[in-house]
């Protein structure tokens, strides 16, 4: 099992405790994918304090790296307006740039799963291949879809990288195609197309967002007071569920089983 770290949020923010993945050390270009798709603050989105400490930690191990903060919104509100409203602009110092995922050149990524669910390939930014390190920095959320709980953490956070023009359904503001036949099933395709490329994940579980329905921006906040991070998105999400006092996300075991099939083939 890959090492996963847990710290109280106050310690994470006050001390240089965040340990970036090995791929970040000496990197020239680093992609950071934060959960900032809505014009709403934490816990709907990641806190700027936690995101700031991640960027600070990356800068400590790669002083000259170009840090690219990449997000694709799930709202009628523009990314620039969300960034300003949520306070992201204070982090956009020299060498740190904000990029809209929906405006980036995309290529097809092959699905390496031995049993693809729906997509044999998926379109995502070419930039993922042009950086030395990729990190997902997410909020920790539980919504409900068709009567079943859905955990959103470092893997689900990657939905924002897929172009809405390609994956929209009824609403042009979301990626409805990625909800069919279900999010847990499509997350298998997400992991084996781009998720496996990520070198680290951070889950801001300072407060857990809980919604009684599918709406990922309207619900209640439950204090947890922890930040979880590591180099394996699956292990990070598993630990986040444990720390956040939730049952293990139902996408984790199937993906781990497929990983075992790949490694034994």
Domain CATH for 53? 3.40.50.11440
Give 21-52 pLDDT, tens digit per residue: 999 999 999 999 999 999 999 999 999 999 99
Q: Checking DSSP bridges between strand 96-100 and strand 200-210, what pairing results, if any? A: unpaired
Residue 107's domain comprises 4-264
Give 148-205 pLDDT, tens digit per residue: 899 999 999 999 999 999 998 888 778 889 999 999 999 999 999 999 999 999 999 9
Backbone torsion region of residue 256, taken as left when φ is above 0, otherwise alpha when ψ lies between -120 and 50, otherwise beta: alpha
CA distances from 150 to 7, 168, 210 (A): 24, 20, 10
Q: pTM of whole model > 0.75?
A: yes
Q: Residue 9 CB: number of other CB atoms within 10 A? A: 20
Question: How many domains are contained in the chain?
Answer: 1
Which residues are paired to 71 by β-bridges?
100
């Amino acid at each position: 099992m890959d090492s996963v770290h847990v710290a109280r949020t106050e310690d994470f923010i006050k001390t240089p405790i965040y340990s970036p993945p090995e791929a970040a050390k000496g990197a020239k270009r680093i992609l950071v994918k934060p959960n900032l798709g809505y014009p709403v603050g934490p816990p709907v989105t990641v806190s700027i304090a936690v995101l700031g400490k991640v960027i600070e930690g990356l800068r400590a191990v790669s002083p000259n790296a170009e840090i690219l903060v990449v997000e694709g919104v799930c709202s009628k509100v523009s990314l620039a307006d969300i960034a300003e409203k949520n306070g992201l602009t204070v982090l956009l110092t020299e060498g740190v740039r904000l990029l809209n995922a929906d405006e980036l050149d995309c290529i097809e990524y092959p699905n390496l799963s031995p049993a693809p669910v729906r997509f044999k390939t998926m379109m995502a930014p070419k930039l993922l291949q042009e950086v030395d390190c990729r990190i997902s920095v997410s909020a920790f959320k539980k919504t409900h879809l068709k009567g079943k709980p859905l955990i959103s953490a470092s893997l689900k956070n990657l939905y924002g990288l897929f172009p809405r023009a390609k994956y929209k359904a009824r609403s042009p503001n979301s990626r409805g195609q990625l909800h069919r036949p279900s999010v847990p099933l499509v997350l298998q395709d997400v992991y084996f197309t781009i998720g496996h490329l990520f070198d680290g994940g951070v889950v801001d579980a300072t407060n857990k967002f809980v919604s009684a329905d599918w709406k990922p921006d309207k619900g209640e906040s439950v204090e947890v007071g922890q930040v979880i991070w590591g180099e394996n998105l699956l292990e990070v999400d598993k630990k986040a569920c444990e720390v956040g006092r939730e049952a293990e996300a139902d996408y984790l075991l199937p993906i781990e089983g497929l990983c075992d099939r790949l490694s034994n083939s």
